Structure 1
Amino acid sequence: MANATASAAEGKAGRTVGRDDRLVIGASSVGTVFEWYDFYLYGSLATYITTHFFSGVNETTGYIFALLAFAAGFAVRPFGALVFGRLGDLWGRKNTFLVTMLLMGLSTFAVGLLPSYSQIGVAAPAILIIMRLVQGLALGGEYGGAATYVAEHAPHGKRGLYTSWIQTTATFGLFLSLAVILATRTALGESTFGSWGWRVPFLVSIFLLGVSLWIRLKLQESPAFQRMKAEGKGTTQPLKESFANWGNLKIVILALVGLTAGQAVVWYTGQFYALFFLEKMLKVDGALTNTLVALSLLIGTPFFVLFGWLSDKIGRKKIILAGCLLAALTFFPLFKALTWSANPDLARAAQTSPVTVIADPKDCSVQFDPVGKTVFNKSCDIAKSYLARAGVTYQNLAAPAGSVAQVKVGDQVITSFPGQLLPAAEFKTQRDAWEKNMGSVLKAAGYPAKADSAKVNKVAVVGILTLLVIYVTMVYGPIAAMLVEMFPTRIRYTSMSLPYHIGNGWFGGFLPTTSFAMVAATGNIYYGLWYPVVVAAVTFVIGMLFVRETKDVDINA
């Protein structure tokens, strides 16, 4: 680790922010906002992606597939980090993140033009996933370049402040995507938006790409990289030096498990899972959900800069780990409060008339069908698939082997039926009748088909979402500066990019998919929170014990 204390000879301490500094921060940030805008469009429009590209499978499978395609972009981010991190350490920071931006922009524009499943069949989701993979590779090279570039321009004692502007870009990118989606929905109407208007935000990205490339072309290479090259201290084998050397590899591992894994799950829970939770599980109107999330982001985003600045004063480690600890301790009560605030009818019904599925465990399938051919017609599957679509949380109770599943709503019991014993036509008729009866029972018990927008406590919801965003700013605001400070200049781009993108690409990127699958498997809408809670708690413990503070290191060493 570059752990020498920065000397006064560095000549930058106390320097004020000048015009060149603002250009570096602004150009790097604008470009990264654009890339995050591209990347987040998909997550924000997952429901429409399901309808248009995964309509050949059942609804639950389709939504999981849509989330998996979303996660595919995250899955390849570490590989993008290796490819573009190596280029960044060999070729330069500026040139590398120009290439990543171009790849991101063109693949996003292509999604807006892609024919749907009904038009070209399985080729549609296949091409969609390829575009997501290209986006993931590009983003894997973008962040490390932008963060390294800004940090290497920053005066000593202000790296946290300078790089915190890069940290705001993910939130601004999400905010921009939500704003464009909301404006398009409002202008076109829900029907048109659902039909083809959802493509507009993807197509708009081509104009943002042009502006972002123009701005970034004005930048020069970072002074630390230029100095390193001039002194002949660069590396010809950044991958080998980064990961085949145990001294550096140990720091990479600690950066992952003691920092970025926890940071990632807190970030994706606060910004993405909260959005999925509101729209998919609490059945809040999509436009209202986007508005409430956008407001919370607007309120919370300045805290990125606040915590970045504060990390220059008191250290990065304690702020990041405090955010992980707070998240682990409060996620469950906050999401339960979110339910009461966003859909009080649902929360009240779950409390006064809890639902229990009483079934033989062998009668219950994992309702994930990759090819869309399986008919889930056992009595347990019939009950659980309906409850999942209705957004009703339930408990499971084992019944004797061979018994027909029952659904208990409060004190009322509704018996399912063994659909596998019936001809297809008769099964459909009986299932439709059963579901209609089940819907009537749930309605009588107070379970709403969707959240009543008039009853949503919008102030409370925005307050809870803002608190979640503040947790995000605590863990994310100082992370770029800390990662840059952990590695030497010659292998910095490569070394910092891999743990960041494994943490955010794998631990964070798979969070919505994993948590939703956990909810679908258990029937408990809060069960998916165990994933971020456990990961954040583990990061807190490992970070406290083994990760060293970095705010005073000399990054030119």
Structure 2
Amino acid sequence: MSTVAAQPLPNTVDPRTARKVTLAGCVGIFAELYDNGIFGFMAGSLAAVFFPGSDNAVQLVFLGYAVSFFFRPLGAVICGHLGDRIGRQRMLVFVILLISAATAAIGVLPSYASIGIAAPALLILLRVAQGFSVGGEASGAMSFLAEHAPEGKRGLYTSYAQIASFLALLTGTLVAAAMTSGLGSARMESWGWRIPFLLAVPLGIAGIYIRKRISDTPNFTRLKEEDGLSKNPLKEAFASAEHRRAMLLALFIPLMNGSGYYVLFSYMPTFMSSELNFGEVQGLLVTASSLVAICIAIPYMGRLSDRIGRKKVLAGAAVAMAVVGIPCYLLIGTGNVALAVIGACVMAVVFAGHTGVIHILLVELFPTRVRYSAYGLGYNVSSALFGGTAPLLMTYLIDRTGNVNMPAFYAVVTALGTLIAVSGVQDRAHLPLRAQAAAAAALTGLQDFVRDTVRLYRARRDATVKLINDVARLSCTVPDGGFYLLVNCQDVIGQLTPEGNRIKNDEDFARHLLDSQQVAVIHGSAYGAPGYFRISFATSTDVLTEACERIATACTALTSSAAPSA
């Protein structure tokens, strides 16, 4: 008996619906990433308001920035579990509601001068809520967009989300620059710093409204209709060697994010004003220029990955960053605004090859059943270890060494790390997304089949052991995991059978002992155990053969879901 492995189902979402969903997803991502990024852009003002008089005020703000990243994996685990169980759309509404509320709450916090140590404590607590929310956002939003995207355009469609995330950073940069320039330091530290955080309210309302009006993805809906949803997605992911390996790749491939997103953009304005003696507005404008450059470059990189594959684009970006990282930071370090813009924009275009492709590559590593959970955990642990700590690490290293080129060295090291990690990935750019519903069903059926087979074997085995030991009075053993018995026949060699035939050896005994219709008997001399014979149950042998065929078929289905998918 054999079964046919189900073939992958290509995405049949019509382009108009896909564009509508992509726009809706991008609006939500814009709101989410604006809320998250404005904390970094307002670091100088937050330092003065919440840590007045401290020599390490900026470091303390970035410590709060870093702490929140360690709650991202928690957000990824909880939101990922629910997203794989009840749907992506519901969780995406929840995470934008949470981060909007947390960001707006920062905007109304009393200062240190008003309530003392409680002020920075509440600031960190709300930043933790932001981190939890972002942990559920990235993998959920990217999975949502990829599962809606037409075949052959997943890289392009998901790259739009990254444009939205960098437009959010650009908006935060311009808001911070405009307010700092227009209000001046005194008014910014008095009340102006609140305005960028309070903008989260209208952005959040818009994002929630749009996300509530879109349906869940075809992949998730189909899996739910087939009763193929995982009861415990993360447990299932850790139980699979393939998924464990994919989660490790999701941990190390995004290494370059640490030097790109979190240093080149979030940390750059603070770095330029505090370490390179640029004016605060000048630093923000250099960052704004690089953000414009990366927004232009990202869709081209996403589309290129649809044509030549994710792996080549990511590897090319890593090599390029390793080459240009130090020269570009040296241009920024000249103190000349024009040269700083050139250096930052070159790195931004190079980084576009990473950030425009990284998420769709990670989405494609996992099947629908565990995608939100497994991808989210791997990616957010990476962000916590190598991303959120990056601004704090750069501040610390520059302070200890006096070398302002530390961000350049970090860019090279993380780029090389990404290059090594991406070399071990299978490129699935030209294959349908993995759903794994049919493969999972085949595996579940196989497990039931094997349990039934073992139960049948044990029942027949026990009956035969009793016959041999009680009636024939021979020693019988059952090898671990064997579908056969080993019988000691040395004591009966030379004796007569009831038919009057003398037992000459183990082969002779095996021939006469049991009905060949019920068992297949192999004498011991044939496999190096003279004096014994092996009984392999004919029925069980046939069942075992069938089980092997079923195992092969199920493995083919699983392999198909890892290559053409299922």
**1:25: which partner in 2?**
22
How far apart, in 2, do the equivalents of 1:92 and 1:16 lie?
21
Aligned counterpart for 1:198 among listed residues 184, 193, 197: 193
**2:76: which partner in 1?**
81
CA displacement at 1:40 relative to structure 2 = 0.7
**2:168: which partner in 1?**
173
Gaps of 5+ in 2: 436-565
Aligned counterpart for 1:328 among listed residues 316, 322, 330: 322
Contact 1:159–1:481 (Cα < 8 Å) also in 2: yes
Residue correspondence of structure 1 range 397-412 to structure 2 within 5 A: none
**1:453: which partner in 2?**
none
How far apart, in 2, do the equivalents of 1:148 and 1:325 lie?
27
**2:255: which partner in 1?**
261
How far apart, in 1, do the equivalents of 2:208 and 2:224 lie?
25
Contact 1:148–1:484 (Cα < 8 Å) also in 2: yes
**1:399: which partner in 2?**
none
In structure 2, give the amino acid aligned to 1:10.
Answer: P
**1:551: which partner in 2?**
429
In structure 1, give the amino acid aligned to 2:344.
Answer: L
Contact 2:71–2:131 (Cα < 8 Å) also in 1: yes
**1:277: which partner in 2?**
271
Aligned partner of residue 301 in structure 1, secondary structure: helix
How far apart, in 2, do the equivalents of 1:297 and 1:40 lie?
13
Aligned counterpart for 1:533 among listed residues 384, 394, 412: 412
CA displacement at 1:338 relative to structure 2 = 1.1
**1:348: which partner in 2?**
none
Residue correspondence of structure 1 range 339-354 to structure 2 within 5 A: 339-340=333-334, 343=335
Contact 2:293–2:349 (Cα < 8 Å) also in 1: no
CA displacement at 1:268 relative to structure 2 = 2.3
How far apart, in 2, do the equivalents of 1:228 and 1:16 lie?
19
How far apart, in 2, do the equivalents of 1:476 and 1:242 lie?
25
Aligned partner of residue 369 in structure 2, secondary structure: helix
**1:48: which partner in 2?**
45
How far apart, in 1, do the equivalents of 2:418 and 2:81 lie?
27
Aligned partner of residue 307 in structure 2, secondary structure: helix
Aligned counterpart for 1:476 among listed residues 355, 363, 366: 355
Q: 1:16 to 1:279 in 2, by over 3 A?
A: farther
Q: 1:212 to 1:548 in 2, by over 3 A?
A: same
In structure 1, give the amino acid aligned to 2:37.
Answer: Y
Contact 2:49–2:189 (Cα < 8 Å) also in 1: no
In structure 2, give the amino acid aligned to 1:529.
Answer: A
Contact 1:50–1:62 (Cα < 8 Å) also in 2: yes
Larger-Rg structure: 2
Aligned counterpart for 2:183 among listed residues 162, 185, 188: 188
In structure 2, give the amino acid aligned to 1:223.
Answer: P
Residue correspondence of structure 1 range 426-437 to structure 2 within 5 A: none
Contact 1:108–1:202 (Cα < 8 Å) also in 2: yes
In structure 2, give the amino acid aligned to 1:225.
Answer: F
CA displacement at 1:186 relative to structure 2 = 4.2
CA displacement at 1:483 relative to structure 2 = 1.0
CA RMSD of aligned residues (A): 1.9
Contact 1:235–1:491 (Cα < 8 Å) also in 2: yes
In structure 2, give the amino acid aligned to 1:510.
Answer: T
How far apart, in 1, do the equivalents of 2:407 and 2:148 lie?
41
In structure 1, give the amino acid aligned to 2:353.
Answer: M
Correspondence 1:236 to 2:234: no
User: 209-218 or 259-268: which moved more?
Assistant: 259-268
In structure 1, give the amino acid aligned to 2:48.
Answer: T
Residue correspondence of structure 1 range 71-150 to structure 2 within 5 A: 71-150=66-145
Correspondence 1:507 to 2:386: yes
Contact 1:518–1:528 (Cα < 8 Å) also in 2: no
**2:498: which partner in 1?**
none
TM-score (norm 2): 0.73
CA displacement at 1:495 relative to structure 2 = 1.1
How far apart, in 2, do the equivalents of 1:79 and 1:331 lie?
33
How far apart, in 2, do the equivalents of 1:252 and 1:279 lie?
38
CA displacement at 1:462 relative to structure 2 = 1.9
CA displacement at 1:142 relative to structure 2 = 0.9
Aligned partner of residue 52 in structure 2, secondary structure: coil
Q: 1:51 to 1:121 in 2, by over 3 A?
A: same
How far apart, in 1, do the equivalents of 2:53 and 2:120 lie?
10
Contact 1:111–1:202 (Cα < 8 Å) also in 2: yes
CA displacement at 1:527 relative to structure 2 = 2.9
**2:371: which partner in 1?**
492
How far apart, in 1, do the equivalents of 2:370 and 2:227 lie?
14
**1:400: which partner in 2?**
none
Correspondence 1:314 to 2:314: no
Number of aligned residues = 431
Correspondence 1:154 to 2:149: yes
Q: 1:275 to 1:45 in 2, by over 3 A?
A: same
**1:382: which partner in 2?**
none
In structure 1, give the amino acid aligned to 2:415.
Answer: A
Q: Compare relative contact order (CA 8 Å, sep 6+) and give the higher one, 1 or 2.
A: 1
CA displacement at 1:97 relative to structure 2 = 0.9
CA displacement at 1:330 relative to structure 2 = 2.3
In structure 2, give the amino acid aligned to 1:241.
Answer: E
In structure 2, give the amino acid aligned to 1:324.
Answer: A
User: 196-205 or 547-556: which moved more?
Assistant: 547-556
**1:518: which partner in 2?**
397
Contact 2:310–2:361 (Cα < 8 Å) also in 1: yes
Encode CA deviations 1:388-431: one digit per residue, 9 max, x unaligned: xxxxxxxxxxxxxxxxxxxxxxxxxxxxxxxxxxxxxxxxxxxx
**2:509: which partner in 1?**
none
Encode CA deviations 1:263-310: one digit per residue, 9 max, x unaligned: 443332322333332122112111222122212212321211110010
**1:218: which partner in 2?**
213
Residue correspondence of structure 1 range 358-369 to structure 2 within 5 A: none
How far apart, in 2, do the equivalents of 1:179 and 1:527 lie?
26
In structure 1, give the amino acid aligned to 2:139.
Answer: G
**2:10: which partner in 1?**
10
Encode CA deviations 1:141-187: one digit per residue, 9 max, x unaligned: 01111111111111111100111111112211101111222333344
Encode CA deviations 1:310-367: one digit per residue, 9 max, x unaligned: 0000000111122122222322221111111xx2xxxxxxxxxxxxxxxxxxxxxxxx
Encode CA deviations 1:90-128: one digit per residue, 9 max, x unaligned: 110000010000110000011111111121111111110
TM-score (norm 1): 0.74
**1:64: which partner in 2?**
59
Contact 2:45–2:188 (Cα < 8 Å) also in 1: no
How far apart, in 2, do the equivalents of 1:67 and 1:256 lie?
22
How far apart, in 1, do the equivalents of 2:14 and 2:228 lie?
29
Identity %: 33
Aligned partner of residue 152 in structure 1, secondary structure: helix
Contact 1:178–1:290 (Cα < 8 Å) also in 2: yes
Encode CA deviations 1:231-276: one digit per residue, 9 max, x unaligned: 011100111012233221111102222x112344333232233333
How far apart, in 1, do the equivalents of 2:391 and 2:318 lie?
18
Gaps of 5+ in 1: 344-455
In structure 2, give the amino acid aligned to 1:298.
Answer: V
**1:38: which partner in 2?**
35
In structure 2, give the amino acid aligned to 1:161.
Answer: L
